[in-house]
């Protein structure tokens, strides 16, 4: 199988493993290094999360002692599972699956997918803070017995994102955008910082998306999905459909908050990048903050 990027393989394989009921971890990657200090990824391997040997030893006084010798049970799921996918970068700029092994040395089934930690967290992140706060209140016999508010939950989540989104990662992303823009003047990216100078929101639109919007921008869909990465930043995307019935990407953004002010910035910035003409219809979820933002930025656009 051939993919445009290793990220596409990551999404594809993760969707497959969730459907089957086992977890996957991305293993070591190989890079090609250049004289200027830059590097590009050349090989990526994905493994079952049951891969590897169980750690049956623990450190005591600087020495590693076997847990089994001490009669201590070893709680681990590692069993040396050999299921894996290996892919490498080809000369024509694509990523090809070079080796695929789907034989597991353990039992798994679709019904066990919720036993995988990242799937449980994925479901938890879909629960709005208001709903989570309401549930806690019902468990504690009233809101007065809950020591924090929904705003506290939002602030805590925002603080965690800022702590995880380190300056080095932000700079690497912005440098990558600048490199792309050198080769393609029609690539647009916009970002903004918070009061402390921390990168807050980023939006980008490439040349292909801008051209596609001119022909197929009458009806678009806007969606925000939590990425299961170390930043936990909502990934927003605008998509349309071309004359072949195929989904086309019209813009992307990483956003810090899902509030009206942020959505206003995303919608207005995206419109500027694709030419300024709003779509006839936009499809979104039922988030009221998104609805308020659209009324301000695209008052003539019909929202469904």
11 within a domain of the structure (yes/no): yes
Are 74 and 37 in the same domain? Answer: yes
179 within a domain of the structure (yes/no): yes
61 Rama sector, left if φ>0, alpha if ψ -120 to 50, beta otherwise: left
- Spell out the SS3 assignment of 182-201: HHCCCCEEEEEECCCCCEEE
Are 269 and 170 in the same domain? Answer: yes
Are 170 and 143 in the same domain? Answer: no
Tell me if 301 sits within 8 A of 267, measured CB to CB: no
Are 142 and 262 in the same domain? Answer: no
Query: Which domain does 20 fall in, by range?
Result: 2-117
Tell me if 263 sits within 8 A of 284, measured CB to CB: no
123 within a domain of the structure (yes/no): no
180 within a domain of the structure (yes/no): yes
Are 153 and 205 in the same domain? Answer: no
Residue 292 class from Cβ within 10 Å (0-12 exposed, 13-18 middle, 19+ buried)?
middle
**pLDDT tens for residues 94-141?**
999 999 998 888 887 777 766 676 666 666 666 666 777 787 788 888
- What backbone torsions phi and psi does residue 274 show, to the nearest 5 degrees? -100, 5
Three-state secondary-structure class, residue 142: coil
Counted domains in the chain: 3
Kindly report whether the global pTM for this prediction surpasses the value 0.85: no
* pLDDT values of the chain reduced to their tens digit, one per residue, 304 residues: 999 888 889 888 888 888 888 888 888 788 888 887 778 889 999 998 888 776 655 555 566 555 544 455 555 677 888 889 999 999 888 999 999 998 888 887 777 766 676 666 666 666 666 777 787 788 888 888 877 777 777 766 666 555 555 555 677 788 888 888 888 888 999 988 877 677 788 999 998 899 999 999 999 999 876 554 555 667 889 999 999 999 999 999 988 888 889 999 999 999 998 988 999 999 998 778 888 999 999 999 999 9
């Amino acid at each position: 199988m051939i993919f445009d990027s290793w990220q596409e393989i990551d999404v594809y394989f993760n969707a497959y493993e969730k459907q089957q009921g086992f977890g996957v971890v991305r293993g070591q990657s190989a890079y090609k290094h250049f004289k200027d200090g830059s590097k590009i990824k050349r090989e990526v391997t994905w493994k079952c999360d049951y891969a590897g040997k169980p750690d049956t030893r623990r450190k005591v006084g600087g020495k590693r002692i076997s847990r089994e010798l001490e009669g201590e049970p070893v709680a681990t799921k590692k069993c040396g599972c050999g299921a894996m996918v290996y892919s490498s970068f080809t000369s024509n700029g694509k990523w090809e699956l070079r080796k695929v092994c789907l034989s597991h040395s353990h039992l798994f089934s679709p019904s066990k997918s919720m036993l995988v930690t990242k799937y449980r967290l994925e479901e938890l992140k879909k629960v709005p803070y208001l709903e989570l706060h309401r549930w806690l209140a019902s468990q504690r016999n009233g809101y007065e017995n809950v020591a924090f508010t929904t705003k506290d939950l939002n602030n805590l989540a925002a603080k965690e994102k800022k702590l995880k989104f380190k300056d080095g990662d932000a700079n690497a992303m912005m440098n990558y955008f600048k490199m792309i823009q050198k080769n393609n003047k029609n690539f647009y990216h916009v970002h903004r910082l918070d009061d402390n100078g921390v990168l807050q929101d980023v939006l980008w639109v490439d040349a292909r998306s801008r051209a596609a919007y001119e022909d197929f921008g009458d009806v678009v869909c806007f969606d925000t999905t939590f990425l299961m990465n170390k930043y936990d930043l909502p990934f927003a995307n605008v998509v349309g459909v071309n004359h072949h019935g195929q989904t086309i990407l019209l813009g992307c953004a990483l956003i810090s908050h899902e509030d009206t002010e942020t959505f206003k910035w995303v919608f207005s910035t995206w419109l500027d990048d694709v030419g300024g003409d709003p779509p006839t219809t936009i499809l979104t979820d039922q988030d009221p903050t998104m609805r308020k933002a659209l009324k301000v930025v695209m008052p003539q656009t019909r929202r469904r």
